[in-house]
Amino acid sequence: MIRRHISELLAFFCLISPVVANAAPTTGPPPPRPEDVSPEAAIVRKYRQLGGAAGTLGPSLHEIRATLDGRGRYQTYRNGSIHWSVATLAHMTRGSIRDKWAAFGWEGGLLGYPQTNESNTFDGVGKFNHFQGGSIYWHPSSGAHVVYGAIREKWVALGREAGALGFPTSDEQDLQGATGRVSLFQRGRIEWLRSTAATTAFDAVGNPIADASILTLKSLICHDTQDATGDDEAKLVVYVDGVRTRVWRKDMNDDDSNDRDKSELVLNVAFRFRHDIRIELWDEDTGFFDSDDHLGSVIMGPQAATNVRVGFVESDASYTLLYDVAGPAQAVQSPQQRAQQLLASFRTGSGAGVFTDATLASRATVAASIAQRLINPDGVDQDGASLCGPAAVMHELVTRRPDKYVAWTVEIWQTGAMTVRGRKETISDGLRRSATIGSMTPADWILMASLRDIANVFLDVEAGESLEGASGMTAPWAIKTWTETLLDAWGTNIETSVVYGEYGDLDLASRYVANGGVAFLLVNADILEHNSGWGQVPDHWMVLHGGVHIDRDRGRVEFTAWTWGQPLKNYSLSEDRFEDAFYGVVVGMTGD
């Protein structure tokens, strides 16, 4: 059914052009409205986002009050509370996590103010809140427990609740003889010794858990296909410590084809592991696994090795996989570790930045907001600015490459420019004189507004001007460029569904995400609230996380996606609603 008109498409591509004529003066964006920055308004806004009296928290029990330390505000509801401070903004706590926080002295205790809302853990069963001084994790089998300090850092390095130790089963407590501290977990414990300040993780039977090794897959080369004629539909599957982690699919042929694109699958991807990595190679001719399709498997241990070649020769095929293994002593820093190192260097550095606004000029304030974003990538929020495109890309940048996120944010603050693939892009004077909009954190504003400002070199729109309304709309080609340059993605593609093709585009996006890639959805913003009205133009970007299910019998389309200012969310739409609100995708494969 053709529902959209050419005028709608023209309206989208003309979204930017009217802004130039109606642009605000180049002295920066208008000052934030009082209702956007007051603590009372922030708490009310958060409460409404959570559904108000009919939502998660239920009706309020009292008016908004000052916290005991005088530095914040809070309001209590039947099912929880919302606390606000200048440094952390407004966040919700409830249930067992809130009770545990209360036992530790609320905001005046060890943990300080909450930095996130209650959120789902990796397995979808547990819950957590991050606070200024640590975290509280809850699981139905173990309850709510606090992790903080050096023990928390060790636990994070081991993969948090999804790693070797699982969820915490105790709060931090003294070791016997008060020689240090210990926290217990589902599959072991972490100890911190006062004498050395060292942390050591132990498994359930008391064996030390070694630091991770790193496997780097370089490439897969086809010498002889399993198929007598035509290409192999090769499928390479990676299992990290027994967990299926990554899948590649590619039509491949042997060297005689003179087609390097088909004879080699370039990988250049690293995996951290503690026990072993198993790799399997299949030929998916029929779409079903059987003995004839299995081309071989190999298991790599933690022993260091360089330029290793291993063959897959089953079923008359011949393939070679090239890889390196760095042992624990050789293991390089993870992106998360590099991000923390860069942040620590920035926090303790000296010198003024390029921004004139008092908040943006404060090194300490910017460093605190960077730290907050590293803890909670889902908290990226554009608030009153139309920066949903930069927000979507920034969310994936913080999630996949936090080290690059910190490096670029710091570079912009210090020099007014960001260097991408050897090319330095300088922000405008208007942006240097700007202030954040609404309740956006300084770090969010610096990077998102800079991305918009740099993109506007080609659009003749100053990010230092008003970014509200259409002026902030990001075109698909800009998302594609950022995906390639900021996320180091390959195989990027833009697919639009102006008249038809919505289901194929969503399926394509789902396959990219399932294989470790990234997918940005171009939609009408009404889709966020499940409004009954039909979208007229594409005006919003979302990040697909999976969960795609198209049920033509029921006439429903379901998927899981993230958008600014909201937690990860499941969407269930009628076919008509989906067709009228969905306009296309930008996809790419990444190495993370």
Buried b (16+ CB within 10 A) or exposed e, 163-196: bbbbbbbebbeeeeeeebbbbbbebbbbbbeeee
Separation in Å, CA 124 to CA 115, 222, 273, 530:
20, 39, 23, 23
Q: Which residues pair with 324 in a beta bridge?
A: 216
Helix (H, G, I), strand (E, B) or coil at 547: strand
Strand 143-147's sheet: what is its strand order? 119-120, 127-131, 134-139, 143-147
Spatial separation of the C-alpha atoms in residues 49 and 185, rounded to whole Å: 34
395 pLDDT tier (thresholds 50, 70, 90) = very high
**Cβ(240)–Cβ(224) below 8 Å:** no
The pairing of beta strand 80-85 with beta strand 72-77: antiparallel
Q: How confident is the model at residue 460 (pLDDT cuts 50, 70, 90)?
A: very low
The two tokens of residue 466 are 């008003």
Q: Would you say residue 281 has pLDDT above 80?
A: yes
For residue 19, pLDDT over 70 is answered with: no
Most confident of 95-104, 211-220, 332-341, 436-445: 95-104
Q: What is the pLDDT of residue 17?
A: 30
User: Which comes out higher in pLDDT, residue 143 or 492?
Assistant: 143
How many alpha carbons lie under 13 Å from residue 231 in its C-beta half-sphere?
15
| Confidence check: pLDDT of 30 > 60 | no
> Do β-strands 417-420 and 423-426 pair in parallel, antiparallel, or remain unpaired?
antiparallel
Q: Report pLDDT for 498.
A: 67
Please compute the mean of the pLDDT values over residues 446-472 and round it to a whole number: 57
Order of strands across the sheet that contains 173-174: 173-174, 180-185, 188-193, 199-203
In angstroms, what CA-CA distances link 355 with 65, 131, 369? Answer: 34, 28, 15
Q: Which pLDDT value is given to residue 534?
A: 47
Q: Say what the pLDDT of residue 146 is.
A: 97
Maximum mean pLDDT: which of 208-217, 459-468, 499-508, 570-579:
570-579
- In 3D space, the residue among 173, 89, 187 whose CA is nearest the CA of residue 139 turns out to be 187
Give 41-74 pLDDT, tens digit per residue. 989 989 998 899 999 999 999 999 999 888 999 9
- What tens digit of pLDDT does each residue of 157-173 get? 777 887 778 899 999 99
- Highest mean pLDDT: which of 22-31, 166-175, 230-239, 243-252? 166-175
**Contact indicator for 569, 561 with CB cutoff of 8 Å:** yes
pLDDT, the chain, mean: 81
pLDDT at 233 over 80: yes
Measuring CA to CA, which residue among 267, 274, 538, 562 is closest to residue 398?
A: 562
pLDDT tens digit sequence for 127-156: 999 999 999 999 999 999 999 999 998 888
**DSSP code string of 408-419:** HHHHHHHHSEEE
Domain boundaries, the chain: 50-203, 213-326, 335-463, 490-589
Query: Is the whole-model pTM more than 0.85?
Result: no
Dihedral sign for Cα atoms in the order 137, 142, 144, 148: negative
CATH fold for the domain made of 213-326: Immunoglobulin-like (2.60.40)
* pLDDT tens sequence across 188-206: 999 999 988 889 999 888 8
Res 91: pLDDT? 93
Cβ pair 436, 417 in contact under 8 A = no
For the ranges 180-184, 198-202, 423-427, the one whose mean pLDDT is highest: 180-184
pLDDT of 23 over the 80 cut: no
Joined tokens for residue 361: 């000029």
Q: What is the pLDDT of residue 5?
A: 38
For residue 80, pLDDT beyond 80: yes
C-beta neighbour count of 434 within 10 angstroms? 27
Q: Which residues pair with 202 in a beta bridge?
A: 189, 208
Cα angle: 80, vertex 527, 380; to 5 degrees: 55
Q: State the pLDDT at residue 464.
A: 38
User: pLDDT above 70 covers what percent of the chain?
Assistant: 83
Tokens of 451: 């991305």
Q: What is the pLDDT of residue 440?
A: 85
